[in-house]
Amino acid sequence: MADWAFHLSRFWANNARRLSGLGEGVYWLVVVSVIGVTALLRKRHDLAFRAGKTAVAIAAAGLAGNALKIVAGRARPRALDDGVFGFHFFELGYRFNSFPSGHAAVAAAVAASICFARPAAWPAAALLWLLLAGGRVLTGSHFVSDVLAGGAVGIAVMVVVERSAWLDRLRRRFRKGEARSAAQNDGEETSRADASVR
């Protein structure tokens, strides 16, 4: 598969590179941050919280992927040209950080978040992951097993974040504060109305 990816036509290689670039964690953090801030401004707190959870999962998936890369030290497909392949545990450097794919981990975290928010949208979420993760294989940056492992990391991280008790406590505290604020505003408005009647 890696050898096939190296011999793609320029058209396919360029498109794969563009797709691959969309899997950057920073890009997705910016996207979900904009969604979260916009949702807060429009008082759509459930969507804002979903964006916050997704941002946490993206960052955690990226960190987990990078930690595993250091441990595994797997040579990238392009190293095959020099006869270098396999796992070289704790070997540092770009050439030895193929496993797992960080882009695939981030894309899987985003896709899993979409599935939690809208279960019926799983085909679109799966397609998103397939395009972003597949781009990494087509550019010759990763083996298929790298992107599958990255996908597993991203999904696992999103599941942990989704089930995190401390995030749910934070959400409940936020809602209580919101309810108190609304009650205070109602009380002030009632007092003003009573004063104007007198």
pLDDT score at 13: 58
Domain contains 185? no
Tell me how many domains the chain contains: 1
Structure tokens at 15: 């498109």
The angle subtended at Cα 170 by Cα 166 and Cα 173, nearest 5°, is 135
Which residue did the predictor score with more confidence, 179 or 120?
120
Residue-wise pLDDT tens digits, 107-151: 999 999 999 999 999 999 999 898 888 878 877 778 899 999 999
Position 85 in a domain? yes
Query: Has residue 189 been placed in a domain?
Result: no
Please state whether the peptide bond connecting residue 119 to the residue before it is cis, i.e. omega within 30 degrees of 0: no
pLDDT per position as a tens digit, 24-75: 788 899 999 999 999 989 988 888 889 999 999 999 999 999 999 999 988 8
Domain that includes residue 94, residue range: 2-179
Distances (CA, A) of 149 to 106, 136, 152: 12, 13, 5
- Looking up residue 141, the CATH number of its domain turns out to be 1.20.144
| Domain presence at residue 55 | yes
Task: With respect to residue 190, please indicate whether it lies within any of the assigned structural domains.
Answer: no
Residue 195 is assigned to a structural domain of this protein: no
- Is residue 18 in a domain? yes
In this structure, the number of other CB atoms found within 10 A of the CB of residue 181 comes to 10
